């Protein structure tokens, strides 16, 4: 008879293959599917999610997991068993009919959100969003009981394994006390320097796409295993052999799409580098939670590609793409433009000084909604209050306010804090990489990301989920997450 562990591997491989199919169908829904396909697509997604759920929730799963604990396993197998148990606890806590209902509600709400957002019409999507929130709370309560944690932590654990809001509260309270004065200082220091000159458009989308592909190639994006398209909200999907990234274009500002491409390419590079072979379809072969995943996108976007070395390399590419001439295309001017601090409404367009404030606001709101301390109808007003408090600005409408992100409307609750945790991790990992290999930064100045990618493959990507987030950071950088590294990076870039 085969080991209990081997039987578990077979079941989790089935769930993983179904998950791959789900990912591509969801990508298609966000990029190419005609609106008329929404109802049928919702049925498809619901069925696949139910089948994946059933694959890891059989009546004998508890016995198989217990039996496998007593078998002779190597370190990777034991780490895989740990992640299998985590997946099983999450899946077994939620009944199949609730999984089906959530999948259908999420697909329906996302389609409504696509129409509501450009029209700044929160009222149109409110009933559908309320259904998602109610279903999410039901699932969260079931998972909280199974995990022995609070409801928000149960939802957070889906995206950041072992992440706890008590720890996030401490980190975010520290940042919240730091950010307002720091942002003011950064703006004051910025005002002492000549304002950067903005390259003038229009910038043809075809040329933007060509430039984006050149930068993707420099980063190490594998076009034989990936592609880039357009969506209302940039994202990365697919699976290691078929990674899909998207961006959105603005003919008046090429940098927005370009940095979106860099950000999503960072996610893609992580997926390309995950352990293959025996671990390809196993939980241990997946990315180590969204904190580390976001660190990879923000490392590329904020740490590497808004640096002077990269922009010295990229400036001629930009000039060539758009026929640019004059001082606005000078690398130093482009650097000042890429690192310009501005109190803005849109999270994905935010600079790295104000970006954490966007996340802290969302974290507080979603936590209050999940824990029943705020009614969903009050979300627009509470959102605007948060922006006045932390950024000193008020969104003029809900398009620039609570409708801007797809996450809640697509069913992702408990995700937002991983963005800022990821930004902090990115600063720490990039600093460690440059210290370990001094050739990394000069190579970036030549458009050669191979040294950086090699370090990341060894210290992050190739480890999959074999280590906890904390242990991965300690192994790669010598210490757990340290807010001081992030603050030091911001201070050096924006105040020196």
User: Could you read off the pLDDT tens digit of each residue along the chain, which spans 496 residues?
Assistant: 589 999 999 999 999 999 999 999 999 999 999 989 999 999 999 999 999 999 999 999 999 999 999 999 999 999 999 999 999 999 999 999 999 999 999 999 999 999 999 999 999 999 999 999 999 999 999 999 999 999 999 999 999 999 999 999 999 999 999 999 999 999 999 999 989 999 999 999 999 999 999 999 999 999 999 999 999 888 999 999 999 999 999 999 999 999 999 999 999 999 999 999 999 999 999 999 999 999 999 999 999 999 999 999 999 999 999 999 999 999 999 999 999 999 999 998 899 999 999 999 999 999 999 999 999 999 999 999 999 999 999 999 999 999 999 999 999 999 999 999 999 999 999 999 999 999 999 999 999 999 999 999 999 999 999 999 999 999 999 999 999 999 999 999 999 8
**Whole-structure pTM over 0.85, yes or no?**
yes
Domains held by the chain: number:
2
By C-alpha distance, which of 237, 234, 232 is closest to 258? Answer: 234
In this structure, the answer to whether residues 184 and 128 fall within a common structural domain is: no
Task: Give the structural domain span for 241.
Answer: 168-495
On whether residue 388 sits in a domain, the answer given is: yes
In this structure, the answer to whether residues 230 and 279 fall within a common structural domain is: yes
On whether residue 148 sits in a domain, the answer given is: no
Q: What is the pLDDT of residues 287-313, one digit of tens each?
A: 999 999 999 999 999 999 999 999 999
CA atoms within 13 A on the CB side of 115: 10
In this structure, the answer to whether residues 107 and 239 fall within a common structural domain is: no
In this structure, the answer to whether residues 177 and 266 fall within a common structural domain is: yes
On whether residue 253 sits in a domain, the answer given is: yes
On whether residue 435 sits in a domain, the answer given is: yes
Residue that finishes a domain, picked among 111, 132, 153: 132
Which stretch of DSSP H or E encloses residue 417? helix 417-436
In this structure, the answer to whether residues 434 and 299 fall within a common structural domain is: yes
In this structure, the answer to whether residues 9 and 103 fall within a common structural domain is: yes
Q: Can you tell me whether residue 61 is helix, strand or coil?
A: helix
In this structure, the answer to whether residues 99 and 177 fall within a common structural domain is: no
On whether residue 122 sits in a domain, the answer given is: yes
Residue that finishes a domain, picked among 82, 105, 132: 132
In this structure, the answer to whether residues 117 and 172 fall within a common structural domain is: no
Point out the residues that are catalytic.
264
In this structure, the answer to whether residues 123 and 172 fall within a common structural domain is: no
In this structure, the answer to whether residues 172 and 90 fall within a common structural domain is: no
In this structure, the answer to whether residues 478 and 378 fall within a common structural domain is: yes
Q: How many residues does the chain have?
A: 496
On whether residue 158 sits in a domain, the answer given is: no
Q: What CATH number did the domain enclosing 260 receive?
A: 1.10.1370.30
Contacts of 393 (CB under 8 A, 6+ apart): 343, 344, 345, 387
On whether residue 152 sits in a domain, the answer given is: no
């Amino acid at each position: 008879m085969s080991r209990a562990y081997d039987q578990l591997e077979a079941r989790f491989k089935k769930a993983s293959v179904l998950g791959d199919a789900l990912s591509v169908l969801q990508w298609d829904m966000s990029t190419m599917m005609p609106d008329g396909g929404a109802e049928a697509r919702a049925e498809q997604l619901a069925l696949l999610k139910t089948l994946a759920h059933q694959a890891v929730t059989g009546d004998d799963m508890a016995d198989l997991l217990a039996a496998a604990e007593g078998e002779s396993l190597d370190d990777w197998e034991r780490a895989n068993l740990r992640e299998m148990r985590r997946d099983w606890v999450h899946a077994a806590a939620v009944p199949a009919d609730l999984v089906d209902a959530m999948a259908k509600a999420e697909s329906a709400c996302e389609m409504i959100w696509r129409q509501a957002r450009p029209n700044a019409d929160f009222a149109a999507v409110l009933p559908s969003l309320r259904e998602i929130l109610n279903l999410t709370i039901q699932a969260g309560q079931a998972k909280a009981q199974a995990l022995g944690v609070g409801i928000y932590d149960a939802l957070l654990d889906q995206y950041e394994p072992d992440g706890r809001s008590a720890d996030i509260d401490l980190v975010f309270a520290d940042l919240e006390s730091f950010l307002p004065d720091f942002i003011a200082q950064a703006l004051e220091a910025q005002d002492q320097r000549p304002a950067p000159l903005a390259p003038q458009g229009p910038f043809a989308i075809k040329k933007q796409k060509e430039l984006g592909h050149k930068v993707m190639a420099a980063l190490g994006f594998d076009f034989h295993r990936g592609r880039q398209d357009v969506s209302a909200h940039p994202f990365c999907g697919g699976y290691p052999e078929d990674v899909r990234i998207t961006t959105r274009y603005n003919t008046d500002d090429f940098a927005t799409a370009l940095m979106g491409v860099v950000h999503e390419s960072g996610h893609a590079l992580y997926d390309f580098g995950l352990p293959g072979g025996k671990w390809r379809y196993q939980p241990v072969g997946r990315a180590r939670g969204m904190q580390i995943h976001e660190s990879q996108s923000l490392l590329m976007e904020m740490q590497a590609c808004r640096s002077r070395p990269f922009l010295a390399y990229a400036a001629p590419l930009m000039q060539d793409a758009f026929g640019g001439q004059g001082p606005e295309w000078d690398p130093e001017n482009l650097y000042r433009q890429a690192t310009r601090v501005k109190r803005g409404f849109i999270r994905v367009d935010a600079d790295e000084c104000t970006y954490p404030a966007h996340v802290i606001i969302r974290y507080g709101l979603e936590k209050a909604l999940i824990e029943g301390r705020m009614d969903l109808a009050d979300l627009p007003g509470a959102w605007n209050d948060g922006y006045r408090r932390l950024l000193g600005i008020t969104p003029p409408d809900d398009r620039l306010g609570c409708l801007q992100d797809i996450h809640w409307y697509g069913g992702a609750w408990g995700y937002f804090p991983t963005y800022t945790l990821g930004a902090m991790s990115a600063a720490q990992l990039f600093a460690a990489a440059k210290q370990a290999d001094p050739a990394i930064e000069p190579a970036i100045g030549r458009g050669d990301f191979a040294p950086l990618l090699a370090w990341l493959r060894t210290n992050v990507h190739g480890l999959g989920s074999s280590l906890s987030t904390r242990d991965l950071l300690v192994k790669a950088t010598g210490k757990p997450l340290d807010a001081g590294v992030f603050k030091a990076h911001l201070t050096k870039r924006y105040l020196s």
